[in-house]
Amino acid sequence: MRICIQDRGKRVYIATPLKLLPSHWDEEKQKVKSLNSQHRTINNVLELKMAELQGKMANESLHTELALEKIAGRKVSKTSFRLFAGECLMKWDKTKSEATIKAYTSMLNQLGKYDKNVSVEEISPAWLAQYEHHCRLECQDAGTLKRVAFVSVVLKEAIRSGIIDRDPFLIYQKPKKRTPPRVWLTLEELERIEDLAERTKSEVIRNTCYWFLLACYTGLRYSDIANFTPDMIQQGRLILYTQKTGEIVSIKLTHKIKTLIALFPAGVYSNQKMNQYLKAVAHHAKINKLVTFHTARHSFAVNCANLGISQEVASKLLGHSDLKTTAIYYKIVNERVDREMDKWNQ
């Protein structure tokens, strides 16, 4: 006789020393027909074994093929990280957002391209250091942080499932976010982009210029530009709740903003595509800076400081919940003033 454990289409069979004629088995009741005392003893043994297995299953956080092997008392030499992470994604599908699951799936695919055969047990501080180095060659700082953090999340689940008993992240320190220098564009550089939008024959470049310039003159993030609708214009103002913080922003329509809104093309490109096209925009406008869409927000903040707009007003326009965030841009301007004053000492 064998006991079959089944979960979501996966089966594991456990052998027992019990022997029985097929005709003595009650298929409907899933037990031995009580024809004699020996049969009753077999049923008692089976009930005890089933209770034991059910208790083990209740203690498993994931009812996966790996967990079933463990319940069956079989030694699993190594646990595929990709297989286990995939099963985690199935479990998290009910508790995490669709965007998170999509991002995790992408990160798992990227890890598979780097090391498709790595097991959970093989992930050590040394492996993590090598993987971080690989990620930094492939993507920017933020992407590296997210990919390594995903590995950490899966390993914590592996600890809870009893696959490993020690977290390698206790020794290996997660990469810290490197704060890159803030890039912004001067008013003269913004005028160059305006000129490019007028003379270019490329619809892609022209549209990218319009969307980017609107962000430069309003301080709006990409997510707010992408969700712009005409009904946000009310009584000569642009009024909206920001996508990121939910803060309400009310911006008076300047001449430049009115012009750009009138030219505003429908169907904003993705943030990734926008950043790709902005490299071409910077090249054609002869701007030797690494320009991304978020550069527009930095540009608005620094130019507010240069124009003498108070820090409190700029903070309100930017939708900052903390005045200290706005202060960063005003510190940039003050440091530049100090450098200019130092010329008197030369």
Domain match, 93 and 142 both: yes
Domain match, 86 and 144 both: yes
Domain C-terminal end among 71, 99, 131: 71
Domain match, 232 and 123 both: no
Domain match, 326 and 242 both: yes
- For the stretch 325-342, what's the b/e string if a residue is b when 16 or more beta carbons lie within 10 angstroms of its beta carbon? ebbebbebbeeeeeeeee
Amino acid (1-letter code) at residue 301:
A
Distance CA 126, CA 323 (A): 41
For residue 179, tell me if it sits in a domain. Answer: no
Give the pTM: 0.52
Distance CA 210, CA 190 (A): 11
Give yes or no for a contact between 205 and 161, defined as CB atoms under 8 angstroms apart: no
In sequence order, what are the beta bridge partners of 252? 237
Where residue 136 sits, what CATH number does that domain have? Answer: 1.10.150
Helix axes 187-199, 295-306, angle to 10 degrees: 130
Domain match, 161 and 274 both: no
Domain match, 7 and 150 both: no
Domain C-terminal end among 71, 95, 129: 71
Into how many domains does the chain fold? Answer: 3
Distance CA 207, CA 192 (A): 15
Its domain, for residue 66, covers 2-71
Domain match, 197 and 96 both: no
For residue 177, tell me if it sits in a domain. Answer: no
Residue 3 φ then ψ, to 5°: -105, 130
Where residue 268 sits, what CATH number does that domain have? Answer: 1.10.443.10
Domain match, 101 and 32 both: no
Give the pair of three-digit tokens for residue 194: 């305006």
For residue 95, tell me if it sits in a domain. Answer: yes
For residue 128, tell me if it sits in a domain. Answer: yes
**pLDDT digits (tens), the chain, 346 positions:** 777 766 555 566 666 667 778 888 888 887 888 767 777 777 777 777 777 666 666 655 444 555 555 555 555 467 899 989 998 998 898 888 888 898 999 999 999 999 999 999 999 999 999 999 998 888 877 788 899 999 999 999 999 988 888 899 998 887 776 666 788 899 999 999 999 999 999 999 999 999 999 999 998 989 899 988 888 988 888 888 888 777 788 888 899 999 998 888 888 899 889 999 999 999 999 999 989 999 998 899 888 888 888 777 777 777 666 656 566 656 655 565 566 556 556 5
Q: 128: helix, coil or strand?
A: helix
Give the pair of three-digit tokens for residue 198: 């007028």
For residue 217, tell me if it sits in a domain. Answer: yes
Contacts of 136 (CB under 8 A, 6+ apart): 144
Hey, what long-range contacts does 159-164 have (CB within 8 A, 24 or more apart)? 160/61, 161/60, 161/61, 161/62, 161/66, 161/67, 161/84, 162/70, 163/66, 163/79, 163/84, 163/120, 163/121, 164/120, 164/121
Contacts of 9 (CB under 8 A, 6+ apart): none
Domain match, 51 and 108 both: no
Amino acid (1-letter code) at residue 15:
A
Domain C-terminal end among 145, 170, 195: 170
Domain match, 124 and 262 both: no
Domain match, 200 and 97 both: no
Residue 4 φ then ψ, to 5°: -105, 125
For residue 178, tell me if it sits in a domain. Answer: no
For residue 180, tell me if it sits in a domain. Answer: no
Phi-psi sector, 20: left (phi>0), alpha (psi -120 to 50), beta: beta
For residue 118, tell me if it sits in a domain. Answer: yes
Domain match, 94 and 202 both: no
